[in-house]
Amino acid sequence: MNKSLVKVCPSILAGDFGNLSDEAKKIEDAGADAIHFDIMDGHFVPNLTLGPKALAAVRRSCSLFLDVHIMVYSPFDYIERLVESGADRITFHMEATEDVDEVIDFIHKCDRKAGLAFRPETSFSFVPKYIDKVDLILLMTVSPGFGGQKFDKSVVDKIELTKQLIDQQKLKTQIQVDGGINLETAKTCINAGANNLVAGTYLFSLENMKKGVEDLRNLAKGS
């Protein structure tokens, strides 16, 4: 895999919520491809985090692609506010709505990229139904809701199967992984077929985030 095809998206969830503008600039200065922005409603997952107003503040602070992952029930109701706040891609959970197609179509109608996320325990059997309808498949490598969790190795097989589908159908759909991503787990995911890495705790723990971003990209060399 060519390293230029691997995108690195630091998760601002691992940053300082009291200094979001500075954290956004830090990610941008590190040469990342996007800022990964998590929104949780306290219902779909047992945690509350940032919302559309905070997203708008980040949008004003930098020009990076804003990759918004919503862990909420009734995702359709959030789309317009997220678009107005500056989201470039909106990824929602298949498990959070009874009408996945409606949400995908509305995101695209708003001229934004659409992503579909899956919990680690969700059956892979749902992926083929939507893989040609979205721009990105997010395979969570931890249970959604909290940062700093241990990487779930069981998801690696799903990454491989998803990559096979994309190759068979000659799609441009990206495979994103999120949760417990560091140099070791990122290498495993890239080898399995992932080309979009979300890393929060790992990158924010480094003194030099720029080097961390480059190190993650360089893992793809020779893969």
Q: Please, which residues bridge with residue 93 across strands? A: 117
Whether 148 and 185 have beta carbons less than 8 Å apart is answered as no
Length of the chain: 223
Angle 20-29/52-61 helices, nearest 10 degrees? 50
Q: For this structure, is 178 an active site residue? A: yes
Task: Single out the catalytic residue among 38, 41, 67, 135.
Answer: 38
Burial environment of residue 145 by CB neighbours within 10 A (0 to 12, 13 to 18, 19 or more) = middle
**Residue 66: HSE in the Cβ half-sphere, 13 Å Cα cutoff:** 27
DSSP structure string for 155-172: GHHHHHHHHHHHHHHT--
Task: Single out the catalytic residue among 41, 67, 152, 178.
Answer: 178
Q: What is the largest CA-CA distance in the chain?
A: 46
> Among 14, 8, 11, which residue's Cα sits nearest to residue 33?
8
Q: Give me the amino acid identity at 44.
A: F
> Among 9, 57, 12, 13, which residue's Cα sits nearest to residue 31?
9
Residue 28 — left, alpha, or beta (φ > 0 → left; ψ -120 to 50 → alpha)? Answer: alpha
Q: For this structure, is 38 an active site residue? A: yes
Residues with a catalytic annotation lie at 38, 178
